[in-house]
Structure 1
Amino acid sequence: MPPTLILVRHAQALHNVDRDYSIADPELSALGREQCLELKANLVPKVLSQEDLPEVGLILVSAMRRTIETALLAFPELIEKGIPIVAHAGWQENSAQPCDIGSSISALKAEFPQVDFSSVDPVYPDKTSPAGAKYAYNKKAIMARGRSVLAELKERPEKAIIVVSHSGFLRVGVTGRWYFNADYRVFDFASEDKDDLSLKEREWTEKGGLGWSFEERVELGYGLPEEDKVVPS
């Protein structure tokens, strides 16, 4: 049976404060760190009790500072229980602005030794060269990346997986739903058919698990450029 997906947007980062997209791979703001504690208080008891959710067996994070920090601050109990935290290039944000370009894996390994970076695509953080074309900021690449990460998760053996990612990619590449900083939504795959990657959201996260997110739905791919374009996500 395919896993349940708990999809989390990172908490507020420095580039979110004043919409300064020139900040390279920003860390969380002070408010973002507070939001992580609210996420922790809301979601972790649900995970540990398994009343509303199956057993979580994996935490995936976009290989960017703000997503890694969110996971480490919100889910320390889960990590201490032995649930692996694994970085994944496929869940990075859409644009090629400095705020959405990751740091080198060697730098991140030194900064976050708790995280497994062994399976991160070697091309990361490049998304503008031919080698990094699958991470380019255009509709074709982002839609394909969304399908790719879902297909990968659908084949995973875990009962439930937490993914910490970004609003733009989650909204227009994966789920068609809005995510406020540090909010989350819970989805199940609509069928066990390998080729059917459609998702069905749990009713209790219609406004986000924390109740912070818009209910409106968005068409996948909405607003994305047909060709590469450098604009903020």
Structure 2
Amino acid sequence: MPPTVILVRHAQARHNYDIPDPELSELGQQQCRALEQHLRQHLPLADKVERIITSPMRRTLETTTLGLDWLIKRGVPVEADALWQENSDKPCDTGSPLADMKPLFPHIDYTTVDSLWPSKTGPYAFTRSATIARGQSCLHSLYSRKEKVIAVVSHSGFLRCAISLCKYANADYRVFEFKDKAEGEELELVEWKLTESNGGGLGESEKGRAKIEETDFPEEQAEEVEQQLGGKTDGEAVKEVPEKK
């Protein structure tokens, strides 16, 4: 039986399009603490998480470390997976070399991170076909896991466009089961009513299905994406707080 999945968007980063792989802002760190408190007090499912998967980007590694701290201290394994990185190829959405991250986050397992990291080429290219295929790769990987409950920390643009067609506020989460499918059909997730009706677990996220806008992908591919995923989104994937200069 496939696992139940808790999808978490990273907390607010100290963001500017030109800042490579930014860290969390002070508010982002506060959001992580609020997330942990909420999960521990209001989502019994979170206490059953058997594995944590995170994008290898700095803001997701930091959100994982701060927001899921009690699980990590308990010994729940944490693995970094390049498949869960953000869509965009802007500097802010391009990861750092693992050699830079390992000393900062030594408790995370990097052994399965694709050797292409942090390149935005091949399966990580900022194109419709690569993004949709990468989303299916993520879902197939989750579907075959033996764990019953898995938490994933990723990014709004990728989660929205390739995984769940839902919007995520910073440090908010949604809970999903896998939809029953016939042989040959693509994998899909079905959201728990608990988070769907509330606008995310914290109630900070926009309700309803997401849509696709031209800003989500390169202009020449926007129409193809809309046809494939059935709508438009507002392209908030890389919206964060501008770095003070």
TM-score under structure 1 normalisation? 0.88
Q: What is the match of residue 140 of structure 2?
A: 151
The residue identity in structure 2 corresponding to 1:203 is: K
Deviations 1:115-164 (A, max 9, x none): 1111000000001xxxx221011111101100110011000000010000
Shift in alpha-carbon separation, 1:82–1:46, aligned structure 2, 3 A: farther
1:21 alignment counterpart: 17
Any residues of structure 2 matched to 1:95-114 within 5 Å, and which? 95-114=88-107
Can you list the C-alpha shifts for 1:37-71, whole angstroms capped at 9, x where unaligned? 11001113456x44xx6821100000001001001
Alignment of 1:39-188 (within 5 A): 39-46=35-42, 49-50=44-45, 55-127=48-120, 132-188=121-177
Count residues with an aligned counterpart. 220
Q: Which runs of 5+ in 1 are unaligned?
A: none
Shift in CA distance, 154/219, structure 1 to aligned 2, threshold 3 Å: farther
Match of 1:214 in 2: 206
- Of the candidates 205, 209, 219, which is equivalent to residue 195 of structure 2? 205
Q: Which amino acid in structure 1 is aligned with residue 99 of structure 2?
A: S
Deviations 1:187-213 (A, max 9, x none): 000126575411110011020000000
User: SS at 2:50's partner residue?
Assistant: strand
Which stretches in structure 2 are left out of the alignment for 5+ residues? 223-236, 239-245
| Cα distance change on mapping 1:45 and 1:159 into 2, 3 Å | farther
The aligned amino acid for 2:23 is E
Q: Which amino acid in the other structure matches residue 163 of structure 2?
A: V
SS in structure 2 at match of 1:110: coil
Residues 54 and 72 of structure 1, relative CA distance in 2, 3 Å threshold = closer
| Shift in CA distance, 191/220, structure 1 to aligned 2, threshold 3 Å | farther
Q: Please, which moves more after superposition, 191-200 or 83-92?
A: 191-200
**Amino acid across the alignment from 1:178:** K
Question: In the alignment, which residue of structure 2 is the partner of 1:31?
Answer: 27
Rounded to whole Å, the distance in 2 between the matches of 1:155 and 1:220 is 29
8 Å Cα contact 2:40-2:47 kept in structure 1 = no
